[in-house]
Amino acid sequence: QISDLLGIQWAPMNIPMSRRLQTLAAFVWIYLILFGEALSIYLFIQLVYSRFWWAGILYGIWMLNDIDICSRGGRVSQWVRNWTWWRYLCDYFPITLVKTVDLDPSKNYMFAIFPHGVISLGAFGSFCTNATNFYKLFPGMSCHLITLGGHFLVPFFRDLALAIGMCSSSEQSLLHLLDQKKYEGNAVCMIIGGAAEALDAHPKEYKVILSRRKGFIRVAMKSGASLVPVFSFGETDLFHPPNNPENSLLRRFQEKVRQLTGISPMFPMGRGMFQYSYGVLPIRSPVTTVVGAPMEVKRNLEPTNEEIDAVHAEFTKRLQTLFETEKVKYLKYHEEAKLVIT
C-alpha cells in the first residue's frame, strides 16, 4: 500500500541473473560518472597521507610527467576496452553500433556525434568499449572519444579515461590524431553539442547544437580528414530530467554553472536498482548509434570563414538526411520525431 501511495513499481524477484548483472553494470557506471572524479581525488589524498605516502608522491611525479599524453594520442588498453563489464553495460539498454558504408582504413575521419543526451551513453558504448564490435565493423581502424582536457588532471580517473581511448578536445590533440603522416584509420569521435546540448536532452526530442559549432569543421579542413555524421537514436530517452525551458530559473542556474565549470548540472532522473520509478539509473531503452557516409574534405591549412561556412552547410544537410533516413528503422515514434538544429 505504501508503494502504491508513493507510486513505486518494484522490479520482480524472478529476473534472470544476466539482467541483474546488466543492472549492476549500469549502476556502477552511473555512479562512476557522477562521483568517480571526486572519489579519485579523495583516494589520492588518503594515499598521500597514509604510510604509503611515497607511492602517492611517485604517482604524482609520474602523472605530472605524463600530463600531456591526452594531447599526444592517448594510451589505449585493449584489455580494459574488452572488460566484461562493458558488455553487460551495453546489453542493459542495449546499445548497438550500425554502419551504413565501409570506411577506408588508410584514411582518418572526424566522427561528429549527435545528440549529446544527458551523459552520451551511445557514444561511450560504441567508441570507448569493444562491446559493440567497432573493430569488426570497421576493420583496420581505431577510435578515440574526445572529452574535456580537465578530466585528465584527475589522478586515477585519468588512467581509466586514457585506457578506454579518450583524448583531449584541444585543437593540438585533434590535429595530432588526424595527422595522416602519423596515423591511418583513426576515427576521432566528437560529441559536437557538448555540455550545452545536454540541457535540451528530453525524451522523444532531438534538439542539437550545430549552427554555431564550426571548430570541428576547421580542424577537419586543416587535417584533410573526412567528416562523418553519427547519430545515436534513443539517446534522449534514457532519462526524464525536469523541464527546464529557456529563461526558467532552473535553466538559468544550469547555464551559469556550465559557464563557470564547463559541465552542465543535469539531474539524471531514471529508475532505481530494485524499482522502476525513482533513481539515477538510466532507463532500459535501446540506443542505436548509426555511422553515416563520409564527406570528403579538401585539406586547407588556412580556411576562410566563407570556406568553413560552405563545408558546415553541406555537413548540416548530410546530418539531416541521415536522421530522416534512419529514424524510421530505430525509433518507434519516428513519425513525430523531428531534428531541431540550433
Residue 268 has phi, psi (to 5 degrees) of -75, 80
Concatenate the DSSP letters of all residues of 31-76 into one string: HHHHHHHHHHHHHHHHHHTSTTHHHHHHHHHHHHHTTTGGGTT---
pLDDT for res 11: 80
d(CA 155, CA 37): 8
Cβ proximity of 69 and 75 under 8 Å: yes
Cβ proximity of 59 and 52 under 8 Å: no
Q: How far is the first Cα of the chain from the last one, in angstroms, to the nearest whole number?
A: 46
Name which of 233, 132, 146 is nearest 186 in CA terms. Answer: 146
pLDDT for res 2: 52
How crowded is the C-beta side of 53, counted as CA atoms within 13 Å?
4
Reading the block at residue 52, the C-alpha cell is 604509503
Number of domains in the chain: 1
pLDDT for res 271: 87
**Identity of residue 47:** L
Task: Give bridge partners of residue 289 from the DSSP assignment.
Answer: 97, 232
Which structural domain, as residue segments, surrounds residue 285? 2-341
pLDDT for res 3: 55
d(CA 123, CA 141): 16
- 229 exposure class (CB count in 10 Å sphere: 0-12, 13-18, 19+): buried
Over the chain (342 residues), what is each successive 10-residue block's mean pLDDT? 64 88 96 94 97 96 96 96 97 98 97 95 97 97 96 96 97 96 95 90 95 96 97 96 87 86 78 85 96 96 96 98 97 96 94
Kindly give, in sequence order, each residue whose CB lies less than 8 Å from that of residue 16, ignoring residues fewer than 6 positions away: none
**Identity of residue 34:** L
pLDDT for res 241: 87
